[in-house]
Every structure is written in structure tokens, then in C-alpha cells.
Chains A and B, each alone.
Chain A
Amino acid sequence: MSKRSQPRSSEITPEAHYSGRREWLAKVGLTAGAAAVWGGAVSLLMSRGAADRPEVVLPTGPGSLSGLQRRSAPTYTVDEAQTPFEDVTTYNNFYELGTRKSDPARRAGTLKPRPWTVEVGGLTAKPRTVDIDDLLRWFPLEERVYRMRCVEAWSMVIPWLGFPLADLVKRLEPLSTARYVAFETLLDPAQLPGQRDDVLPWPYVEGLRLDEATHPLAFMAVGLYGRALLGQSGAPLRLVVPWKYGFKGIKSIVAIRFTETEPTATWNAAAPREYGFYANVNPQVDHPRWSQATERRIGELGRRPTLPFNGYAEEVADLYAGMDLRRRF
């Protein structure tokens, strides 16, 4: 090595600086690495509980409701802004598809709404099994814009597509001894993977008094926003009872039975102190764990007061005349 190419002694980094810089680099590297591990681990824990807005998968093709008879104008509406389709189809309680609000939209693909049959039984003159596509042709489809109030104190306004439950009940010929109608959701963990977890006793069941079921507002929905129901909304057939909390609106129905005694209702059976059989929307009767006096309309910042019977008191209050609604909530 020539003399020239050797660094002058002044150019040599003092050893103290050199090891100091190495130490500094090591500190920065270790800090960044450990921060990423710790922050990543906590963020991962957070994502287990996070509910976001999953992509809504719309089926292609003409859709199962095409070619069916439809009434052109809505037969019932409310003068309130409708909740956007995106919100209606990504914020759902359908524990059969997962307990997070975004789970049903994400997993809806596992639920196959065809082929589908509905078993009709109990106190009826004509027990039978009806194919969903036959059932859909029994009545003209109509649109109804209803408020939907969840027992968790949030609400939406949804344009449903379907037919009055009263028409269906009449067609199914209940015997005069029948006083209630019971509904049952599909039991199939392959299609409804949430049923592998026993968060609730499966299948989900619900029921109405027959006079409630035949009230003109009680509705069977097969679609919303003009298209067939997606899995997360309870395809292909669900109940909508606008004056009751949302959990009464049983989804993906496979059986309808008429009974003489009050049928089991899933949430009522799971926690009778918290969820009544009637489950009429009532700002006066709080859930034991939270107030029902107000609600958040999805898409709005403030809370709005909750109305008795969800604003349908004029139509339905008579059904409960003389009943103590505080006790039979």
C-alpha cells in the first residue's frame, strides 16, 4: 500500500465516536424493531374486535325477483331519509354469520338462498313444504319504507320489498285453535358458520301472536332497495315487524308453524330479563344495561328520541290494550 492512499491520522474516526455511532444505530434498530412488534401485536388484538365496512358482493344476472309482479308505488312510507344501501348491508346483527357487525356482510357468500323451501306445519289445515320460488308468485311484491329500531339503541330507515304477513297467514290456513305463529331460521353450520359457536341456542326461533301477525304492518321481506335480500339481511325470506325491536325480525326462514301456546323466542329464552317475547319498542322500558329513551340513527351524529312502538303507536297500540307493557316488555 502506498503512503498516499493511507488516511491521515486526522481522518481516522476516533474509536469512541465509532462505537458510539454503532451503539446509536443498534439502539435505533432495536427500538424500531421492538416498537413494530409491540405496536403490531396490540393492533392485531384490536383488529379482532374491529368492525369496518366490507365490500358488498352483489350477485350478477337478472336476480331471483326478476319477472315477478310488483306494485309500482310504495304502499307504506315514512317521511325520513332512507339509510344508504351500503350501511344497511354492512352493519348487521346476524350471529349465524358472526357476532361483529361487519361479519355478516363479509361471510354472506356461504349462505345459498337457492334451492330453498319453507316447511309449513303445526295447527294448519294443510301442512306442506313450499318452494321459495312458488311462494314468491303467490303475492305481488310491494315496497314499504319502515323504521328499524335495534334493541342496541341504533336505528335505520329501510325500503323493504315483500308482501304482508297477513296475506301469507291467510294462505297457509291456520286452524281456529291457532293463536300464535312461530318462525325458524335455517340450521346448517356449513351455510351459517356462526352456528358452530354456541353463543345462542340454534336454530334461531321467533314468534308472534296471530293478531300481531295479521296486522297490516307486519311484513315478510324478500328484498330491499328493489333487489333480492343479500345473505346478511336474511335471504331469501325474513320477517319485518316495524314496531318491535329488530331481533324479532327473524332471518332466512325455513319453517312457519301455527301453535296454541306462546312459542319460544331465542333472545327471550336466552335472557328473559333483558328481552321480552313482545319486544315492542318502548322508550319507557329500559334494557337493564342501557337506556332505550334515545337512539342513534345510522348516519346521524346526534341521538334522537325513541318513539313508543317505534312511531307506529297509532296503528298498533290497540293490539296491546289493557296489557301492562312494563311487565310484558
Chain B
Amino acid sequence: MATGASRSRGLRTQDWVRPAVYYGSLMPLVLLAVRAVTGSLGANPIAEVMNQLGLLGLVFLIASLACTPLRILFGWTWPVAVRRTLGLFAFFTILFHFFVYLVLDQGLALGPVLRDVGERPFITLGFAALVLLVPLAVTSTKGSVKRLGAKRWRRLHRLAYVAGVLGIVHYLLRVKADATEPILYGSVLGALLLVRVVDWARRRADAAKRQARAAG
């Protein structure tokens, strides 16, 4: 990555991509708020807000998981610069989704909520995805990378893929008959995971070759 000292002049891609992703990610949330204020959420506004936030959280999560594969495939460095922003948008949107369920949908009735979380795989999985995202959000700072060490931090943040898969299954179990959309998002997630796995296998093979050469 070019440092400020070596290239004081000239606009780096991440200088504008980073704020663009931030402000762009606010847009769907603002549009949802506008729909709420203007009463265009339809006859069941609570369900609509809940559905939209869940879908939006999944989109942000998948977008954050696309950053590293984009670097691997195209050698771009800017996606990694927006990964944290997207990850935090995913976390807060999914948290908001959960609070809409807890407060507006269930009216804070803890008994039914606990039963839902405990007994219904559909809700158990969605809740598990949210719980998995908590340590990732907490350790999203640069300081955390230092404290944990880059290797451990990376290993921890692979949980984001697990959360993504849980989110897809949660979505899949929610629909009654038309699974087109969850399958679509699931395929994208699967493709991203595949890029990571292939890259990992290739790097392992390279390392093994290097080792063999060094030994020979």
C-alpha cells in the first residue's frame, strides 16, 4: 500500500472509496426511514421493516466478505480498506433487525422470544449469526489486530463466513415456497467462499514447494 510520505500528491482510490461506501451504505437505511415516515411500508409495516433490515444486513455481510476475494482475483487493494465499514454496517443492521423483532414484533415478551430462540431452528440460526458477529464488531479496531496478532485476528474473523452461511439458512427457512432470493444470495456467498478455499489451497501448495526446495 502506498504511504502518505512516498506519494503525498495524487488521490488514492481508497481516499474516495472509503467515504463513498460509508455514505452509500446509509442510502438504503435512509430510504427505509423515508418509507416509514411517509407510511409506504404497506399494511404490515413491522414485518416489512424486519424483512428489509434482515435482507440489508445480509447484503452488507456478503459485501464485506467479498472484499478479500476481490483482492485475490483482481489484485485490488481498495476493497480491503472498506471491509471494516461494511462489516460494521452488517452488524448494526442485523442488530437493528433483531431489535425490531424483539421490541416491535414480539413487544418485549421475553417468554415467547426465548422459546423462539431455543426451539425454532429458523430463529435459533438467525440469533446465532448475530451472536457470532458480536466479537467481530468488538475486535474491528486496528488496536485489536495488534493485541490479538494478525494471525489470530484473521482466524477469528473467518467467523464472518459462518455467520453468512447461518444468515442464508435463516432466510431460506423463512420463505414459504419461493426460495429464489435466498438461493441467489447463497450462491454468491458460496462463490466467495470458493475463491478463499482455492486461494488457501494454492498458497499451501506453494509453501510446500518452497519447503521442498529449501530442504533439497
Contact = CB atoms under 8 A, between A and B. Distances in A.
Interface of A: 19, 23, 26-27, 30-40, 42-43, 45-46, 48-53, 86-87, 90-91, 95, 99, 101-102, 152, 154, 197, 199-200, 270, 288-291, 293-294, 296, 298-299, 301-303
B43 A53 contact: yes
Contacts of B25: 38-39, 42
Contacts of A301: 46, 104, 107
Nearest to B120: A289
Contacts of B105: 296, 303
B140 interface: no
A152 B39 CA distance: 22
Nearest to B31: A43
Contacts, number: 141
Which secondary structure dominates chain B's binding surface?
helix
Given A30-B11, A45-B59, A290 B40 contact: no
A38 B43 contact: no
Given A294-B112, A296-B44, A302-B107, A48 B28 contact: no
B178 A30 contact: no
Contacts of A90: 42-43
B42 A91 contact: yes
Interface string B165-197: 000000001101110110000000000000000
A289 B173 contact: yes
A291 B115 contact: yes
A282 B30 CA distance: 40
Query: Closest 8 CB pairs between A and B?
Result: A39-B27, A38-B24, A34-B20, A39-B24, A91-B43, A87-B43, A35-B24, A30-B16
A26 B20 CA distance: 13
Interface string B74-116: 0000000000000000000000000000001111010010011
